[in-house]
Structure 1
Amino acid sequence: MVRPKEFDERIALTAAMQVFWEKGYEATSIGDLTERMKIQRPSLYATFGGKKELFEAALKAYVQLSLTYVENKLRRAPSMKASLLAYFQGIIEGSGGSNPNFGCLCVNTMVELAPHEPSFSLITGEFHARLTELFQRSIEDGIRTGELSNQLNPSSIARVLTLTAIGLSVTMKMKPDPARVKHVAAEILTLLE
């Protein structure tokens, strides 16, 4: 007879995601994970597989949460420009449950692991593509409402915004002088003029 699980997989996965986000993949030990997840090693292996499989599951969960957050951020503002300003300011300030010292788990993975691990590269590539789609849709909406010029190329600008968001996330991990990044979010919006 199979014993029922004595823990909530979703809660355990969220705890694992937090550990990987704080420490990075390489620096995170199985002991770090089991302690934070409040489960035993056999339960971790039986439920999630090894460290790599657990990280993949945590990264996929993070990607979904992150994209949902971005989509909501882009839709809730009174205007398209205001939504982008809030999004980029959020990267600088670490809003949305983020911590600028940790950066973005997906971006960290792009830098640390994706070049060497095809499965991580696939997940981060999907994040990159979906973020670009969200930006493109938002720009197209701005053109449709007349807030933005119809001379803009939504797909080109969306790609630039995605690369800018990734670069800004990496920059914020370096803890730059606040004066250097204070006006960056507003400066990014000049791409839409």
Structure 2
Amino acid sequence: MARQARHDRQEVLEKALALFWAKGYHATSLKDLEAALDMRPGSIYAAFGSKEGLFAEALRLYAQSSKAQFQDMMTRGPTPLAALAGHVRSLGCPEARQAPSRACMLVKTLLETPDDDPGLRAETEELMRRMEAAFAEVYRDAQRAGQLPAGADPERLASRLQAEIFGLRAYAQRTDSQARVAQLAEDIAGDIEALATG
């Protein structure tokens, strides 16, 4: 019985994720959630505590899925930098994933959440810090493999890459951006490959 409940919760979270990603946190009403999840408000609050609680869980699910895709990409390249460049190129083709939105859910949330929001803003920033740390680890792997010079700064490179990806994913929200996003992703990927020594 408990197993069935977990399955139902996962299904609810996936539906909520799609809705929140498409509309954003503030634009998603309780009525939108009722319709998408086929749940009454009392059931939503009993299961997740609040709309914010539901959103936070959906956001974590999004981050976990993104991290899993990233880790899978890191196993595909012949070198750490080549794998990282491949990851960036994949971000230039969002239409292939048929995502609910062209922009990253973390980026959308960060942009729409006020600085003084004690919950969602902190949650979003922490998830983004974890992703940046994963980028830094790839750069350290490249350094250990002799692909990056010893004097390179993996943390700074990771911050720069996250800033570039943040910009790319925000730019993707423009309705006329599809062709340009792929070109920009290629430029960023090329810059990563150019870091390789020898």
Shorter-normalised TM-score: what interval? 0.7 to 0.9
CA offsets, 1:116-161, max 9 Å, x none? Answer: 4121121111122111111111111112112222231111111111
Q: Which residue of 2 aligns with 1:54?
A: 54
The DSSP-based 3-state class of the residue aligned with 2:119 is helix
The 1:111/1:187 distance shift into structure 2, 3 A limit, reads same
Structure 1 residue runs of 5 or longer lacking an equivalent are: none
Q: Which residue of 2 aligns with 1:130?
A: 130
Structure 2 residue runs of 5 or longer lacking an equivalent are: none
Whether 1:186 and 2:186 are equivalent positions in the alignment is: no
Q: Distance in 1 between matches of 2:98 and 2:114?
A: 21
Q: Displacement of 1:16 after TM fit?
A: 0.5
Alignment of 1:33-182 (within 5 A): 33-94=33-94, 97=97, 99=99, 101-174=101-174, 175-176=176-177, 178-179=179-180, 181-182=182-183
Cα RMSD over matched residues? Answer: 2.6
Q: How many residues align?
A: 190
Instruction: Determine if contact 1:16/1:36 at 8 Å carries over to the other structure.
Output: yes
Higher RCO structure, 1 or 2 (CA under 8 Å, sep 6+): 2
Q: Distance in 1 between matches of 2:58 and 2:102?
A: 15
The 1:73/1:95 distance shift into structure 2, 3 A limit, reads farther
Q: TM-score, normalised by structure 1?
A: 0.85
The 1:83/1:149 distance shift into structure 2, 3 A limit, reads same
Q: Displacement of 1:38 after TM fit?
A: 2.4
Q: Distance in 1 between matches of 2:56 and 2:142?
A: 35
The 1:180/1:52 distance shift into structure 2, 3 A limit, reads closer
CA offsets, 1:49-87, max 9 Å, x none? Answer: 221221112112212222222222223322222212221
